[in-house]
Amino acid sequence: MNTKQTPLHAFHHAHNARMVPFAGWDMPVQYAAGIKAEHLATRQSAGLFDVSHMAQLEISGGRAAADLSTLTPSDIAGIGEGRLRYSLFLNDQGGVLDDLMIGRIGDLFYLVVNAGRADHDIAHLQKHLDASTNMAIRTDRALVALQGPQSANVLGMLGLRLDDFRFMQLRHFDFDGTELLISRSGYTGEDGFEIALPANVASEFCDACLSTGLVTLAGLGARDTLRMEAGLPLWGHELDETITPVEAGLGFAISKKRRDMADFPGANRINDQLKTGPKRRLVGLSASGARPVRDGVILRHNDRPVGSVTSGGFAPSLDRPAALGFVEAELATPGTSLLADTRGAPTPVTVSNLPFVQHQYFR
């Protein structure tokens, strides 16, 4: 199988990245610093991640808003100029086909979808978009995420004027004569930015970030530990076609207007769950002891299986193991004690509130 390379592939090699295949792409899982150090540097200063494997789509045309509405539970028409929303492609059972960001800039909708679902999402859109709606796939652009409390300072040092640029906004900026499309958003829980830029400028931009002395290169390993601490779902783990947004704690992504109209895929099931509560819920899990509790481990209460772990490992900011998982709704109360069927001996875990680490968004 030929893995694809992002525009930063040579850059990664030059920076001693350890590369792994991910969703068909050759990606850095870590650099020399290692996952823990990259994670902590992101929360303490700033981390820089190549996320060019995610697909960037532009949808335009007179029916674009209507088309995107039919596929999501979002108020697409209500997305203002320069605004970004977290959204979901749903199936008729209310299950999540993918989670994505949808922003409006100029006369187009800008979508960023998961790398592992890009082929699916593109086919899904092609099948459902009106003949007059145009979709462009921006493979000419790289995408990098700059995340952490110093990230705004870093962009300032690069000459960008942020001028009241807030969380979930989307704007064009000039970097040395090149146009960047930047959102104040991310997947770490920290204040941060996601920067779309021409592929041939990506290395130069990353070098400029590094030259500020405030930025640490970070790979997919740290990306995963950061998002888990932030309680953010990963499609294929906390989300899939059999999981509804209500079960996954994503009720906020369902527009109230759309809920009242019940005019989105799976609306009946989702409205039912919103009314009476879902049968299972996504929770945080704190393990006693030092042994991580990993994906797929069954959770028990009084010997009965009551759920399972969907993401689990070590949380560097907490300096202890942490996990996400689904449990029966009655047991989803923080403080509930469960037993995880870990290899060897069972591990006691406690249901915890999410996020593990508080969000620091610049609102």
Partner 1 sequence: MVKFSEDHEWVKLDGDIAEVGISPHAVEQLGDIVFIELPDIGTNVTKGDAVAVFESVKAASDIYSPAGGEIIDVNTALADDLGAITADDAMNNWLFKVKLTAPSDLDGLMDEDQYNAMID
Three-class DSSP labels, 228-269: HHCCCCCECCCECCCCCCCCCCCHHHCCHHHHHHCCCCCHHH
User: Which residue lies nearer to partner 1 by CB, 180 or 309?
Assistant: 309
User: Which residue lies nearer to partner 1 by CB, 39 or 280?
Assistant: 39
321 counts as binding partner 1 under rule CB under 8 A: yes
354 counts as binding partner 1 under rule CB under 8 A: no
Q: Are 162 and 75 in contact (CB under 8 A)?
A: no
**H helical segments located in 179-255:** 202-211, 220-229
End-to-end CA distance of the chain: 43
User: Which residue lies nearer to partner 1 by CB, 38 or 191?
Assistant: 38
x/- track of binding to partner 1 for residues 218-257 (CB under 8 A)? ---x--xx--------------------------------
Separation between Cα atoms, residue 254 and residue 260, nearest integer Å: 10
Rounded alpha-carbon distances, angstroms, from residue 83 to 31, 101, 149, 179, 295: 33, 10, 22, 18, 35
Separation between Cα atoms, residue 174 and residue 10, nearest integer Å: 25
Size of the site for partner 1 (CB under 8 A): 19
35 counts as binding partner 1 under rule CB under 8 A: yes
Q: Applying CB under 8 A, which of residues 290, 303, 335, 363 lies at the interface with partner 1?
A: 290
What residues from 49 to 108 belong to the interface with partner 1 (CB under 8 A)? none
294 counts as binding partner 1 under rule CB under 8 A: yes
Q: What share of the chain is helix, strand, coil (3-state, %, to 5)?
A: 25, 35, 40
313 counts as binding partner 1 under rule CB under 8 A: yes
47 counts as binding partner 1 under rule CB under 8 A: no
Instruction: Tell me which residues touch partner 1 (CB under 8 A).
Output: 29-30, 34-37, 221, 224-225, 290-292, 294, 313-314, 316, 321, 343-344
